Structure 1
């Protein structure tokens, strides 16, 4: 079975945890241990988030520019590529140590977006560290940032256009055919578009990791698409009286509950799994990374499938 797993940001860094290389490496080691359990007879492709990491790099480049104004800060697409290399290296190393007989390869994926996507006019993707409301408002005034609420904190917001396609899919298929674990679509891929000459070029944005991984899953003809996060299932009435975990849902029925899912957290995940199931007829699951073996067996998580009508709860 060909399985695509999108790792949530919590797999790399816990909320509020210092963004050190040591902390990220320790968290990635734990994630790799879970992923190794489902490799066995399956083909495995992994993607990951990068919001905090790309935000940190943006701050570092801005600080360097303040010291030497001749050096312009690097654009977001370049920063995304840097984070993909860093996180891919850490994840690749841990999986190689756990599964020394199975090569793990990291691929830089360029994701094609529409340069006229309305998202460029309305930044909506949180990146970087968290701030208090007062800190965020001060930075917005000083740096010209857009900022947005992210839970009880605030973060910088950048454009997040919809992914259209992903480059290098044939190469990923060849790697899978040779029994490699492949890390691709990291950080939502490197946002790119074609110019008037038909040449590929980067564009300043950050693409949602889950929506990008849904496209990767479609193009790789995945049998199962998993979004591995830190909650056991998608819920209705989340953090409210009457909260219920969704066990199974038809994609159309789940889509009718779109307002139940927060735009900055569960919303894109739900949209991604719906997109995949509608496009392919295969199944997708949102669930906890700690439950990933049971998810593959059909025993945990929120499973989106055409095999039922309506919604079933735990």
Structure 2
């Protein structure tokens, strides 16, 4: 299996990379939606993230990556109970996939050869405690969208068919990418993504040249290129682990909670998921920065990605969602204070 392009070597697209790092620090943020032009590094970043993420500790023979023997589902009949270290799972959910492939179904081979009724786990089982990646997520069939919404809500996959009644944990970070020109995403699924970023092709010559230079170097000598960028990826992995450890200790003031609520009211976002996601993202950003508390600067930095996809459409405002959020953030939180030299 070929190695993916190094995460640290991706040129530009800072908002996309930052959003993915934040979900690695705090998976409960709820995933990342990346919308933009073709060829802007969306899928490259997801594959690179998989190689960057710290490993997980799990039971060797458990099909749902349980951290302890006691957590393994009974139907799995796990025999190898050793605790091993494995790469964080990143599972692709292809377009046109069947319900059975996603949720799991009766193990036909075992039923025919042994006459036993057994469960064959699906993609949701493999993705537990990891990432589920959907390319062209806006083209996903409605019945799969409904299925994902149910699982995302409960954190559990329930399969009841062919005489089987199976349930298992299915907690994963959902990462989707797509081109908005090819269709819109259903609002119910759109709201399930914690963060959303828009990526565009770079408009300056120097950036485009650097993209070509790095990609060409990787294609010509993958091993040498990976070796060159290994220290940067290793440092980023170390920073993510440090942020995870620091996350529970990051304090949140009443003023910060008030700021979160004020921003969402000013933006007119529906429900309370916006506030909660904004708070979690800002806290993860603070932990990654090594800060002891969430400050307004952290809110400013993550507001567009946490709230941009939750805005009501304004036919009188032709600016993009990110620009609208930034404008309202400036009006609500005030201008950025520049430290005196």
Q: Under a length normalisation based on structure 1, what TM-score does the superposition of the two structures give?
A: 0.29
Higher relative helix content: 2
Higher relative strand content: 1
Q: Under a length normalisation based on structure 2, what TM-score does the superposition of the two structures give?
A: 0.28
Bigger radius of gyration: 2
